[in-house]
Amino acid sequence: MAAIGQTSSNPISSAVGLRQALLLLFCLPFFAALDVSSIWDSNEAFYVQTPREMIERGDWLVPHFNGQPRLNKPPLSYWLVALLYKMFGVSVYLERLLMALLACASIWVVYRSGEMLFDSGTALWGAGIFATSFRFLILSRRLLIDVLMLFCVLAALYFFLRWVRQRNPASFLLFCSFLGLGFLAKGPVALLPAAIAAIYLLWTRRLHRLADAPWLAGGLLAAVIGSSWFLLLGAVHGWQPVADFLLHENLGRFSHLDFGPQRGPFYYLAVFFTEFAPWAFLFPAALYWLFRRRNGPGRETREAFRFLGLWIAVYFIVFSLSQNKQEYYILPLYPAAALWVAAYLRRGNPSRAARLPAAAAALAGALLIGALARIIHSESLILWVLPPVFLALAAVGLLIKRVPVALAAASLFYAAAFWIYLPVLEEYKPVRPLARTILQQVEGRPEQSYRAGYYRLTAPSLAFYLGHPILELYEPQEAVRHLNSGRTVYLILKANDYQTLSDSYPDLEMEIVQVRPKLYTTARNLSRIIGSGRNDDSHWTRPVYLVRSAQQKGE
């Protein structure tokens, strides 16, 4: 009997081991080449430098960046990085390690949620689809605050589901706790899971269950956690910063166009099909399968789809109504879409025609990347072709109904792409080498004897690399005033802005210290590169100058 029992358990153990191995593989790209790339100036610089200034100033209440208060976001992300800095020292690697850990924790929560909604196989596929979605991978390498908020959102929804299934008071309290932590991470937008939970209870006629939940204690817990910093900030520094955050940074972003370009109400449809690719191309077929009368999902599965559909709809509708639209705002709906597609792939038995658009999208991506690699870096063709091969394998796996193979290949594609491509792209990120040049030229001089900064160029990471406040200039009069101040001044600016300043102010003399290429391209330029078959840097880079005030030429 023991031998029979042992034999029958082996397949289960093997399946569990395979799931664990795949989950680890899904996490691999998030740790690939963490310390290779310099800081991404679009957003990452703030979450690397602000915690450093928090420690240097000894002020954990009011975040500062470049010596100025930065109160447009709550401080939870800054606090977490600052704690790592205190324990291990200041480094970009630690901030990225935190993002990678949060991303992997998010993948795990998606897996556990999928187990509750469906089964372990669907959960595994859903976690893999989410882990290999483009937007999630990119944000998990450069935007800590959204990755942190995403984890809080996923954890809150997971514990809400567990409370619905088990009626466990502890799960309800954890649901409320993560709502509060999400608010402390990014503000009111993190409370959308509460709206999803309330609508779901009404829709499924379960609202009466709140009578058995510790809703008063949970509400107080969420309120205390979420409002703690705001109350302390208001008590110490007045209530205007709190009002500005709630009304200007949140309500203002939702109701006014001042914070971004004007985008139409269907903007997020295009975002979904580009940034959740290739999996987004399976979503229409999955939607059709759900509403078919025959061969559609059973009643229990429909209940799970009801929750996922509500989750997707709330985020899609809320941000479609917002006047300010950014592509990463709908990141929290991708886990629900991933589980939706995974359930369809496992239970809907999709035809090859239904799988073909997603496979074709992956294969087209592989061909595009391979073509660019051949042109831009032909001398290392084997290494540059390796990531497209993995992506093509993912397309084949999807086409022949080998979804685990497709997911594993997609993870290897991203891991290989980060390890191979990021070091090459460093050549076209100018801030770190230009900062090194500045430090070499001012070596041995006191910090007060010179100023450095940028003009009409997004380069906040310069503050981190120089280790002190920088100039952030946008008006030509400001640039001219600093360059004519009689002090040593270094400015990073684009070549066309240098030419405009030189033409507009003939008496202004600037010494060009160094010229670096900066990555800049469009879809049209990429098509020109592929069409010409030649590596022409002018199609995908722009020169950036480091200039120095001419008064100090003789130094």
Question: What would the pLDDT profile of 25-83 be if each residue is shown by its tens digit?
Answer: 999 999 999 989 999 988 999 999 999 999 999 999 999 999 999 999 999 999 999 99
294 confidence band (pLDDT: 50, 70, 90): low
Q: Are 196 and 314 in contact (CB under 8 A)?
A: yes
Cα–Cα distance measured from residue 311 to residue 193, given in angstroms and rounded to the nearest whole number = 8
Question: Residue 224 pLDDT > 70, yes or no?
Answer: yes
Query: CA distances (Å), 242 to each of 47, 223, 233, 467, 526, in order?
Result: 20, 15, 7, 29, 45
Question: Residue 4 pLDDT > 50, yes or no?
Answer: no
Cα–Cα distance measured from residue 17 to residue 37, given in angstroms and rounded to the nearest whole number = 33
- pLDDT tens sequence across 129-140: 999 999 999 999
pTM: 0.93
Q: Which of 6-20, 238-252, 260-274, 390-404 has the highest mean pLDDT?
A: 390-404
Residue 259: the pLDDT is 58
Q: How far apart are the first and last CA of the chain?
A: 89
HSE of 174, CA atoms in CB hemisphere, 13 A: 16
Question: Residue 253 pLDDT > 60, yes or no?
Answer: yes
Name which of 237-241, 296-300, 320-324 the model is least confident about.
296-300
Residue 8: the pLDDT is 40
Question: Residue 458 pLDDT > 70, yes or no?
Answer: yes
Both tokens of residue 497? Answer: 């802005």
Residue 7: the pLDDT is 38
Q: Which of 187, 90, 173, 107 is nearest to 145 (CA)?
A: 187
Question: Residue 297 pLDDT > 70, yes or no?
Answer: no
Residue 5: the pLDDT is 35
Backbone angles phi, psi at 91, to 5 degrees: -165, 150
Cα–Cα distance measured from residue 249 to residue 405, given in angstroms and rounded to the nearest whole number = 44
119 confidence band (pLDDT: 50, 70, 90): very high
Q: What is the mean pLDDT of residues 471-475?
A: 96
At 326 the three-state DSSP class reads coil
Q: What is the mean pLDDT of residues 89-103?
A: 97
Question: Residue 257 pLDDT > 60, yes or no?
Answer: no
Residue 170: the pLDDT is 96
- For the stretch 279-284, contacts whose Cβ atoms lie closer than 8 Å and that sit 24 or more positions apart, written own/partner, are 279/129, 279/132, 279/133, 279/337, 279/338, 279/341, 279/358, 280/337, 280/358, 281/357, 281/358, 281/360, 281/361, 282/341, 282/344, 282/345, 282/350, 282/354, 282/355, 282/357, 282/358, 283/337, 283/340, 283/341
295 confidence band (pLDDT: 50, 70, 90): low
Question: Residue 113 pLDDT > 80, yes or no?
Answer: yes
The residue assigned the tokens 């594609």 is 413
- pLDDT tens sequence across 302-352: 889 999 999 999 999 999 998 888 899 999 999 999 999 999 999 888 999
Q: What is the mean pLDDT of residues 108-115?
A: 97
Look over the chain and give the mean of its residue pLDDT values, rounded to a whole number: 90
- pLDDT tens sequence across 146-190: 999 999 999 999 999 999 999 999 999 999 999 999 999 999 999
Residue 531: the pLDDT is 62
Residue 260: the pLDDT is 62
Both tokens of residue 414? Answer: 């991203």
User: Do you find a cis peptide bond into 335, omega within 30 degrees of 0?
Assistant: no
Residue 56: the pLDDT is 96
Q: What is the mean pLDDT of residues 295-301?
A: 66
